[in-house]
Structure 1
Amino acid sequence: MQHGRLTPNFDRLARAGTHLYHSFTSQPLCGPAHSSMQTGQFATQTGCFRNGIPLADDAVTIAKTFAGAGYKTGYIGKWHLGGADPVPKTERGGYQSWLAANLLEFTSDAYDTVVYDVDDQRRKLPGYRVDALTDAAIRYCDEHQSDPFFLFVSFLEPHHQNHTDAYPAPDGYADEMNARLWTPPDLATLKGTSTWHLGGNYGMVKRLDEAFGRLVDALKSLDMLDDTIIMFTSDHACHFKTRNSEYKRSCHESAVRVPTLITGPGFQSGGQVRALFSTIDVAPTLIDAAGIAVPQEMTGQSILPVVRNHRAPWRDDVFFQISETETGRALRTHRWKYGVTSAYDRDAPRSDAYRESYLYDLDNDPYEMVNLVGLTSFREVADDLKARLLRWIADVEEGQVPEILEAKPRFPRQFRLNASDLIGAVDRERDVDPLE
């Protein structure tokens, strides 16, 4: 299956606007990733380091920032930052209008969309779940034509349906996808659950793209499109149990890399931007694009200067945290992925000691099939990445500098590189051009 045939609306709008090609979640788990998008902070900074921890009432959020600048704010869909359904007003991040559920996968099903309104009243919406939430978003836009507004629409799809452990696509879609399925090499090799789940997942993605196009069409019909900034992104991806016993909670590309585009004023004809973008940058970027001062509490940065000038200064690497299933940390540059895992508590926000778990050369191994960790010929690269990772941890995690234990040395047979080649690789990484 060609990618463009699966997501034609995303692809078209990405070409016309700005495509953030290297886009990643800061934590491949629903609640922590949602907290990062709402606050511009890492999960250990928000306190929501795993699922089930409500966002603090006094958190500085994107909704509060927009409301303080005179915008109407609304939230539709899955929240996952509250303690119960319906979500108490003190745990809604400051949103004024509300049509959502904390755990949408438990309150609803593919053709049974149940959410709660601003007054905690149960609302059952008609249609397939993606369409039901899209219809609600279109209604919100129609009702606020005369208002400056910020609307956050959080679809569940293509997340699996928990109680059935399935990917319930619209009727007929999974069969269509299975008939012309393209399977990424890592899934084809490692299998996981992809052999029976991928068709449904693709069907969900297809319907989501159709709904996205319908929402954009609605804005165009209301003469609002030229005055509206639209961002499309995701809280995490899915590795179909190829990397652990879950669907995410791993820093492999299949779990952390997410599709991201921005279109509208300031982002038209931005092209394909290859700077390393993270979910911590979502809030600062949208706030800055609206001409509002970014709160100093936000760790993330606005990507807008890079959109205007692709050679503008930007970070050389992105940082990942995992604090559920395992306690781990990872770092990704344009070329390398380096990850460490704690040998201790699997449900802790951080660890005093980690052990090297993986090292991937993404230029030559984009599907992360060959783990280079411990190979003596890559020790210099690993040491450089280790130092970078420790700097991130010290900056983000209250100055803590844990110990990272080196992987057991392995002596390469097939991998024979000269020391000068490795030094050059490290130096080139530091000087990488975001357009290369």
Structure 2
Amino acid sequence: MRKPNVVVFFTDQQRHDTTGVHGNPMGLTPHFDRLARAGTHLYNSFTSQPLCGPARSSMQTGRFATQTGVFRNGIPLPDDAVTIAREFARNGYDTGYIGKWHLGDTDPVPKHERGGYQNWLAANLLEFVSDAYDAVLFDTEDKRRKLPGYRIDALTDAAIRYCDEHQDKPFFLFVSFLEPHHQNHVDDYPPPDGYREAMAASQWTPPDLVGLQGSSAWHLSGYYGMVKRLDEAFGRLVDALKSLDLLDDTIVMFTSDHACHFKTRNSEYKRSCHESAIRVPSMITGPGFMSGGQVRALFSTIDVAPTLLDAAGLDIPATMEGRSIMPVIRDARQPWRQDVLIQISETETGRALRTHRWKYGVTSEYDQEAPRSDVYRESYLYDLENDPYEMVNLVGMTAFRAISDDLKARLLAWIAEVEEGHAPEILDAPARYSRQYRLKPQDLIGFADPERDVDPIKP
């Protein structure tokens, strides 16, 4: 029996609430929404680090950025890293990469820095070597290639050509778009011509951007235009697979490296452990995923590689910290982690724990040479059940001290597990008193998660 093909449709800096299945009313993502409902929608999907290079290193290796060594941008992925591409190739797959890499040292990316991908049409820093209507990449032999069309369309055309040319052998294709990331040299989100105006006419603004504003007033319509064109490209790629009679034998995953808070949480667009920077849209369709439904388990970037390898019937390397979510898709009663760890080690040094209900975050003084800190301070606590856009910071409130203490212990256990036994100190936030908040005993973490794993650290 032939092994399934695997395609990853990977966007950059896309918020989860750009999609209809997450409540966006603008109809930007009909293809994503339809396929998420027909296949498996990973409703609670989070980046392990809200920054391009570190998140991508986790995506390719199934490990946290502090484990890969790529804890900030500008650090290449180690040449000997155990990657998803190398595992698929070792099992007889042809592997291809198209688009933005951001795990190398230069452009064109040397062969030894390509993570084991055999076929290559990419750029390390696509946002600097190309533009919206100037799609420039480098091929397997380091030759500069300019592709016709809007950049999203140009990369999609290349992906369709790859699928057409590799029908005789199972393939693993990773298509990495720059959009809806901003175009750096103009600090703008340039959509296809005419899309900005169309988006502005019916624009919906998420509550956090309404309240905190940031740069969304002048950037959101362009950003939404990029999202719409990405969804159109996603539909076109799926249509191509169907026309080539490959769709029923191909696992297709849609996900993103991190999201975008539009300068509401700091002076740029990500590098913060708030929901607006860490929560991404993710779905999978194809063999093993059809009719999987909406899966509410907490899914992390570190789980992508193990999940796709497992779905293809391949062994998961012991080096991978993440875990395949396939058992949960088959049976929702299967045990799964009750919290996820998020790290950030650029612009700020911080760590956060995200449960189904709570977000607990700590930060430290930033040192660009240090992936971690010995001392953190409590910075935020959010009740996501009642405040999903994180507008009311509860940190330090005495009514929530027991919850903060529980979350602190769980966060420290994660850090010890994945950061080589590191045992930092976390300083309590100054106490704040409020008569407005009352908690019931079942609101405390130990009671709120009755199905919580005995060992929440091991995913």
What TM-score results when the alignment is normalised by the length of structure 2? 0.92
Matching residue of 2:451: 431
Q: Do residues 149 (structure 1) and 158 (structure 2) align? A: no
Matching residue of 1:114: 136
Q: Do residues 95 (structure 1) and 117 (structure 2) align? A: yes
Contact 1:77 1:99 in 2 (8 A): yes
1:84–1:430 CA distance, 2 compared to 1 (3 A)? farther
Structure 1 residue 185 displacement after superposition: 0.6
Unaligned runs of 5+ in 2: 1-19, 454-459
Of the three residues 306, 315, 319, the one matched with 2:341 is 319
Matching residue of 1:405: 427
Matching residue of 1:249: 271
Contact 2:347 2:366 in 1 (8 A): no
Structure 1 residue 346 displacement after superposition: 5.0
CA distance in 2, matches of 1:196, 1:127: 25
After TM superposition, list the pairs within 5 Å mapping 1:37-436 onto structure 2.
37-343=59-365, 345=367, 347-418=369-440, 420-423=441-444, 425-431=445-451
1:51–1:145 CA distance, 2 compared to 1 (3 A)? same
CA distance in 1, matches of 2:439, 2:249: 53
Structure 1 residue 428 displacement after superposition: 1.9
Q: Which secondary structure does the structure 1 equivalent of 2:411 belong to?
A: helix
Q: Deviations over 1:308-362 (max 9, x none)?
A: 0011111010000000000000000000000000135255201111000000000
CA distance in 2, matches of 1:4, 1:289: 33
CA distance in 1, matches of 2:252, 2:383: 33
Q: Which secondary structure does the structure 2 equivalent of 1:22 belong to?
A: strand
Q: Which secondary structure does the structure 2 equivalent of 1:192 belong to?
A: coil
Structure 1 residue 414 displacement after superposition: 1.6
Relative contact order (alpha carbons < 8 A, sep ≥ 6): 1 or 2 greater? Answer: 2
CA distance in 1, matches of 2:439, 2:64: 36
Structure 1 residue 179 displacement after superposition: 0.5
Structure 1 residue 89 displacement after superposition: 0.6
Contact 2:26 2:203 in 1 (8 A): no
Size of the alignment, in residue pairs? 431
Structure 1 residue 267 displacement after superposition: 0.2
Contact 1:324 1:347 in 2 (8 A): no
CA distance in 1, matches of 2:215, 2:366: 28
Q: Deviations over 1:53-76 (max 9, x none)?
A: 000010000000000000000000
Contact 1:326 1:347 in 2 (8 A): no
CA distance in 1, matches of 2:391, 2:278: 16
Q: Deviations over 1:216-272 (max 9, x none)?
A: 000000000000000000000000000000100001111000000000000000000
Structure 1 moving runs of 4+ over 3 Å: 1-4
CA distance in 2, matches of 1:316, 1:398: 22
Contact 1:335 1:429 in 2 (8 A): no
Q: Which secondary structure does the structure 2 equivalent of 1:284 belong to?
A: helix
CA distance in 2, matches of 1:368, 1:184: 12
Give the counterpart letter for 1:333 in structure 2.
T
Contact 1:9 1:212 in 2 (8 A): yes
Q: Do residues 29 (structure 1) and 51 (structure 2) align? A: yes
Give the counterpart letter for 1:52 in structure 2.
G
What TM-score results when the alignment is normalised by the length of structure 1? 0.97
Contact 1:240 1:247 in 2 (8 A): yes
Structure 1 residue 431 displacement after superposition: 2.3
Contact 2:345 2:371 in 1 (8 A): yes
Contact 1:325 1:347 in 2 (8 A): no
Of the three residues 40, 46, 68, the one matched with 1:18 is 40
Structure 1 residue 15 displacement after superposition: 0.5
CA distance in 2, matches of 1:3, 1:392: 37
Unaligned runs of 5+ in 1: none
Q: Which secondary structure does the structure 2 equivalent of 1:6 belong to?
A: coil
Q: Percent identity?
A: 77
Q: Which secondary structure does the structure 2 equivalent of 1:60 belong to?
A: coil
